[in-house]
Structure 1
Amino acid sequence: MKYPVAIWMLAIGAFAIGMTEFVIMGLLPNVARDLNVSVSDAGQLITGYALGVAIGGPILVMLTIKWNRKYLLLTLMGIFIVGNVAAALSPNYGFMLTSRIITSLAHGSFFGIGSILAASMVRPEKRASAMALMFMGLSLSNILGVPFGTLIGQNLGWQMTFVVIAILGFIALLGIVFFVPMTREEVKSSMLKELRILKEKEMWLTLGITLFGFSSVFAYFTYISTILTDVTEIPEHFISGMLIIFGVGVTLGNIFGGKLADWNLNRALQLIFITFIVYFIALYFIQMSAVAMVVGIFLFGFIGFSMSPSLQFKSTLVSQDAPTLASTLNQSAFNLGNALGAFIGGVVVESLPIQYLSFIAPILTFIGLILLLVNMYINKKEQASQV
């Protein structure tokens, strides 16, 4: 099936957003040196961004709930461009942190609104795949955008990296102007109507499934460079190549996960969660071998990110009356899950040999699996009572 050009334009926007989120990790020493702060202080630029996504996204959605979705996307890309230009012009640390927080406001809302629009442009049985195509831009940013942005920053200055990202944002903005259709239907949502989903148990279960199910990915991946050098004993100059292999796995897993979600959403998540938990156990032995880890890191990205389309699609189905807030809150859950995973991983690394992380990390996905099974049981019970 051919997908509308508009979805590809949304994917370009997703690529730019993914690039600005993750490229800072490779540029921290450069940013810290130029802004006269420690690397750990510069690391708060990542924390500030994540909190901006988790908290600012839902608030922005509520403030713009009556807006036309195309106009809202254009506004979000405008905020994104301004934030990245401000980052490039930052004269000091405080200005840089503020610019990162401004940029982050576009993140959750863009993916929340964009995924709903992408799904609306295709037949019902292809909606998860359409969302996966949009999110493929986020995956590709890890393979192409982050290495490219890091290379630019190291050779031309980190400021130029954010200029390039702003240009990509402008291209996405033009794509939205010319290709994303204008929805003419009356906007029926209201702030109170959207907020009602916070009373729904299934909404909180879904957010919990996302938060815990995905957090094990970052519990392990946050320390992947150390694992590859200290456990797998791969030379440091091969790390970037291994991360590219991981990124390829992420991209293909995202596509596969979308097709699997089109088949059966809850069953797809159940299958992915169980496979991921089992794979983590196998990963303990795989990570000891450099040859096996070439395939191992690909499979880690493939399995881990195959759950992303299902988790995002599930959030839009929780409440048909408030899909915008539900989808954006799910992005908040993703980011909080990333932070939780990194924190748990840090505790494990401080307490145990790092290779044991592959035994501890899947506990988080196991909690997500339990929440999923509870959700499926409740749904089955409710359906039975309606017969």
Structure 2
Amino acid sequence: MTKLTLSNAPASPARDPVLPPARKPGVVHLALAMGGFAIGTTEFATMSLLPYMAKDLGVDAPTAGHVISAYALGVVVGAPLIAVASARIARRPLLIGLMLVFALANGLSALAPSYGWMLLFRFLSGLPHGAYFGIASLVAASVVPQDRRTAAVGRVLLGLTVATIVGVPFANLLGQMVGWRWCFAIVAVLALTTVGLVAAFAPRDRAQAGASPLRELGALARPQVWLTLAIGAVGFGGVFAVYTYLSSTLMQVTGARPAAIPVVLMVFGVGMTLGNLIVPRFADRALMPTAGVALVWSAAMLALYPLAAHSLPLITLDLFGVGLGCALAAVLQTRLMDVAGDAQALAAALNHSAFNTANALGPWLGGMAITAGYGWTSTGWVGCALAVGGLLVWIVSWRASVVDAGTPQPAVEAAG
């Protein structure tokens, strides 16, 4: 008798149809990380440039803050739409096209004649963000063994974290010295540099066999995809709740001089970078436990933030710890690869939609706490609550995956 087992478990996705690469994985990852550096610079630097943008565009600081929301909205909208619409396009030319759009939109941001136009250009800048990181992560993972995927994704995200060390502090100083518009112009140049690097070093691939928008949409039918996205959308919101109002907290509560702000931002970036170098190594051995530990760590660091905010050395050290917890992004990216089945592109892109939902949720709740009179440091408690919320979703996801793994699969007897 031959036993046929019918399993409801998602099949492991096939390896991407990539032609034999002529470059080492490290070179491929470096080329992809350059795009992350450009994206990270424009995303995080905008937050630190708000006072200068507000003055130049003739609006107050809270109103100027909507340019951040416009960018985040572009990410949330663009990631799924581009991933689905481009399902039949090979990944290398898709990455090049996304970076060309990103370069154009940032160049236009540098030339924005008014606040209204700036909102539009920042929305357009956000459209390629999620799709780029999602596709770049898949390409990075495709050129390494299965047990090194999270480390590969972490290397792509290193571009974003290095941006917080170099790009953001430099942009802040540039904004103070010669004007914020130059920052967006430089980002456009970085994006064009990425186009050249990806064209030269990314593996030449073919569109996946059987790829279609309908197959990508199949990811939305998987509960674990939604739970993983919710972990990021809620749990990562705490980081943005603190980071968005960090400059004001440093000046109003800590008593730091403006010159100290870039240094603190740099230390935060160092934490993010080390986190993305170290944590993925553990995640490749134990993915979900690593995600849980990262959320607990983030909750603890954010809870300490209100206490540390009254001392420049302490708040700097605490922000280094908050940065370490940001390695959660790479962990969740790999988790989505595991639970998305064949709908890899959409799930990977949606991860960055989730993080930009966090980028909207965290500052909104943090702003409400400040407006309610709880002070600048209340963003730490808001952030801690969001990290705990993400941890609760993680528990639900973990328990559901354990139950699914232990559920007997139906078997059909066939004569043989």
Question: TM-score, normalized by length of structure 1?
Answer: 0.93
* Correspondence 1:364-375 to 2 at 5 A: 364-375=386-397
| Counterpart contact for 2:301–2:318, Cα < 8 Å | no
Residues 1:52 and 2:52 are matched in the alignment:
no
Structure-1 residue corresponding to 2:245? 223
1:135 aligned residue: 157
Please tell me the residue identity of whatever aligns with 2:138.
Answer: I
* Residue in 2 that maps onto 1:43: 65
Aligned AA for 2:299? I
Displacement of 1:202 in angstroms is 1.2
- 1:342 aligns with 363
Deviation at 1:356, TM superposition (A): 4.2
Partner Cα distance (1:117, 1:106) in 2: 16
Does the 8 A contact of 1:214 with 1:365 survive in 2? yes
**Within 5 Å, which residues of 2 pair with 1:53-72?**
53-72=75-94
Shift of 1:139: 0.8
Within the candidate set 188, 210, 235, 2:232 is matched to: 210
Are residues 205 and 140 of structure 1, via their aligned partners in 2, closer, same or farther at CA, if it must alter by over 3 Å?
A: same
Aligned CA distance change for structure 1 residues 285 and 272 (closer, same or farther; 3 Å): same
Question: Where does residue 338 of structure 2 map in the other structure?
Answer: 317
| Residues 1:100 and 2:122 are matched in the alignment | yes
More helix per residue: 1 or 2?
A: 1
Task: Indicate conservation of the 8 Å contact 2:305/2:377, yes or no.
Answer: no
**CA 1:279–1:167 in 2, change beyond 3 Å: closer, same or farther?**
closer
Once residues 279 and 26 of structure 1 are traced to their aligned partners in structure 2, the CA distance between those partners, rounded to angstroms, is 22
- CA displacement at 1:272 relative to structure 2: 1.5
Q: Once the two structures are aligned, what percentage of the paired residues are identical?
A: 36
SS in 2 for 1:4: helix
Match of 2:268? 246
Corresponding residue to 1:379 among 401, 406, 410:
401
Q: Is the 8 A contact 1:4 1:121 kept in 2?
A: no
What is the rounded CA distance, in whole Å, between the counterparts of 1:116 and 1:329 in structure 2?
13
Q: Is the 8 A contact 2:238 2:302 kept in 1?
A: no
Tell me, yes or no, if structure 1 residue 120 matches structure 2 residue 138: no
User: With structure 2 as the length reference, what TM-score do the two structures score?
Assistant: 0.87
Q: Is the 8 A contact 1:214 1:334 kept in 2?
A: yes
Partner Cα distance (2:297, 2:238) in 1: 13
170-179 vs 198-207, which moves further: 198-207
Deviation at 1:382, TM superposition (A): 1.3
Residue from 9, 15, 38 that aligns with 2:31: 9
Matched residue type, 2:82: L
5+ unaligned residues in a row in structure 2: which ranges?
1-23, 410-416
Which consecutive residues of structure 1, in runs of 5 or more, have no partner in the other structure? none
Residues 115 and 379 of structure 1: CA distance in aligned 2, closer, same or farther (over 3 Å):
same
Q: CA RMSD in A?
A: 2.0
Residues of 1 paired with 2:240 and 2:188: CA distance? 27
User: Would the aligned equivalents of 1:257 and 1:308 in 2 still touch at CA under 8 Å?
Assistant: no
1:370–1:144 Cα change, 3 Å:
same
TM-superposition CA deviations, 1:14-73 (whole Å, max 9, x none): 101111222223333443444444444432221111100001221122111110111110
Query: Are 1:219 and 1:361, in contact at CA under 8 Å, matched by a contact in 2?
Result: yes
The separation in 2 between residues aligned to 1:174 and 1:165, in whole angstroms, is 15
90 and 223 in structure 1: CA distance in 2 versus 1, 3 angstrom threshold = closer
Q: Aligned partners of 1:178 and 1:235: how far apart in 2?
A: 44
Q: Which amino acid is the alignment partner of residue 335 of structure 2?
A: K
**Partner residue, 2:169:** 147
Q: CA deviation at 1:368?
A: 1.2
Name the larger-Rg structure.
Answer: 2
- Count residues in correspondence: 385
TM-aligned CA deviation for residue 342 of structure 1: 0.9
Native 8 Å contact 2:238 2:380 kept in 1: no
Structure 1's 220 and 24: CA in aligned 2 closer, same or farther, altered over 3 A? closer
Aligned-pair CA distance for 1:3: 3.9
Separation in 1 of the partners of 2:261 and 2:329? Answer: 25
Deviation digits for residues 168-202 of structure 1 (CA, Å, limit 9, x no counterpart): 11111000111001113644221111112212211
User: What is the rounded CA distance, in whole Å, between the counterparts of 1:278 and 1:43 in structure 2?
Assistant: 28
